[in-house]
Structure 1
């Protein structure tokens, strides 16, 4: 199990990740305070207190709230142990990373890679009667150029799931009534159902291509929203 300091001092993080680490640090402090109280009570009753790890396991088995704490802390410790990865420059002529997992551990690598890919896509996109809209950090880029991007800019969403729904909502404002989103994230499915429920007056269909390979399937978020009803 990690410590509060290890969670707060680990590698570079976005504001969202920083918030998660502060939560983990707080839970870690609460967990150790609870164990300290248990130890005092056990000793005052003449009992030998359990070791910290054993006590945590027993508490998790009998208390759902404590199990949530323990799971959150374990996941955060796994993230911290992944490390930051080596910083590498991303260029068109540069070699591909030999270890993509290690490359993507570095947030700067990911940001530069995404910006590079967006630039390449913008240059290659030449389809007539189609429009490409991408967000690069807070900046909104469109091909062909679009005058009004007020629904998108500045885009300060750090997480990809909510950023996808910002694009979907913008598409509705532009008059599109059928939307397709490709994702492997169940959070996006839930958000899409919420959007279908809230914007049913201007949205006919919102589909999700969910999963990869043989496990890929289409999910009709608008049908789920209709079945659940607005009160859900």
Structure 2
């Protein structure tokens, strides 16, 4: 099973002069999987929609130069000089995947009559699927935008057709997460072929062992801690958040399932509190933000988001997880992403909706933090405003003569 990343991996071959040459190189790479142990290869592609939750990712990959629309209506069309600029435009990618899909089918029928090639996602019609042997592939007619989820659909169909071992060629972490979640539904061996030609690696997905809670919520975890469509918690990568997931994975139980409720949002908020403040029992992200600032964390990139910003993030993660949970069904039943953490601009492109709140609330920026050594004179900025020094002041590294203190009342006997 081959994902769309093959197109990116092949790029613009040095020996290829035309799109026909490129298609030949692509076909050779795909057909190299056919051997005495492999009689069927599925190739799936992304769909390139204008209104897509991947718009932000694609915009980040685009350069400043404007891409030019290139129509590919024959094999003889020469390859563009600037390949990256060509691939920056979704319409060009869609046109290219259609050419590759058509050329694969023609070549498979001609030179591989005893093997079966199935491809989907690359044709002009969204639900079109083709088999080189004319097999009934109606169950693979899907509305999936992502090749990642089409892989799960095709893997499930292959097992239903009697195949006991599936090898997925892909370098995407998201695909590994999807395979891990759905591995229990795929009776047999599931392998992920990744790495480079010089350093090939096979991951035995069927041998990955997770706790029941982690198995149930790994898709949600990947969505909420950062993926292709959603940003990661500022300053915290997968290595850090994975430790939190191991201990507090149950906090993500209801995300991506059903209607997003207030209780689910609060539960995920607590998960984020554990990311930013693992030693505390705090459940309010605004309070965690305040405490971190008060204790000296002034870099906004290292502070957690405000509650309102986090709510938009959670809405996006909920939507993305809903898409992934339906990877094994052909037609997705998903509400519009507009209003679920994204908004649509005048060109119909989607952008993450962020809160109108400032990243750091005004009451935080109004806090005075001095840079004194001992705060013994009126030159101390805290003293000048009749304020006590706090943990964010540099004087806390030495002896402060203007300390903040808390009076503790005790019951008299």
Q: TM-score, normalised by structure 2?
A: 0.36
Q: Is the 8 A contact 2:118 2:132 kept in 1?
A: yes
Q: In the aligned structure 1, how far is the partner of 2:146 from the partner of 2:64?
A: 19
Aligned to 2:97: 114
Report the CA distance between 1:138 and its aligned residue: 1.7
1:175 aligns with 2:162: yes
Aligned to 1:156: 143
Report the CA distance between 1:184 and its aligned residue: 1.1
Q: In the aligned structure 1, how far is the partner of 2:140 from the partner of 2:199?
A: 32
- Structure 1 residues 13, 146: closer, same or farther in 2, change over 3 A? closer
Aligned length: 160
Q: In the aligned structure 2, how far is the partner of 1:146 from the partner of 1:84?
A: 43
SS at match of 2:100: helix
User: Of 95, 108, 116, which residue of structure 2 is paired with 1:131?
Assistant: 116
Q: In the aligned structure 1, how far is the partner of 2:158 from the partner of 2:188?
A: 12
1:184 aligns with 2:168: no
Aligned to 1:213: 197
Q: In the aligned structure 2, how far is the partner of 1:96 from the partner of 1:76?
A: 22
Q: Is the 8 A contact 1:83 1:105 kept in 2?
A: no
Q: Is the 8 A contact 1:196 1:206 kept in 2?
A: yes
Q: In the aligned structure 2, how far is the partner of 1:119 from the partner of 1:102?
A: 24
Report the CA distance between 1:78 and its aligned residue: 2.9
In structure 2, runs of 5+ residues without a counterpart are 1-47, 216-413
- Structure 1 residues 89, 130: closer, same or farther in 2, change over 3 A? same
Name the structure with the higher helix share.
1
User: Of 73, 87, 95, which residue of structure 1 is paired with 2:78?
Assistant: 95
- Structure 1 residues 183, 15: closer, same or farther in 2, change over 3 A? same
- Structure 1 residues 186, 105: closer, same or farther in 2, change over 3 A? same
Q: Is the 8 A contact 1:178 1:204 kept in 2?
A: yes
Q: Is the 8 A contact 1:181 1:207 kept in 2?
A: yes
Aligned to 1:67: none
Report the CA distance between 1:178 and its aligned residue: 0.6
Aligned to 1:145: 134
Q: In the aligned structure 2, how far is the partner of 1:81 from the partner of 1:13?
A: 19
Q: TM-score, normalised by structure 1?
A: 0.61
Q: Is the 8 A contact 2:63 2:85 kept in 1?
A: no
Rg (Cα) greater in structure: 2
- Structure 1 residues 167, 77: closer, same or farther in 2, change over 3 A? closer
Report the CA distance between 1:115 and its aligned residue: 0.6
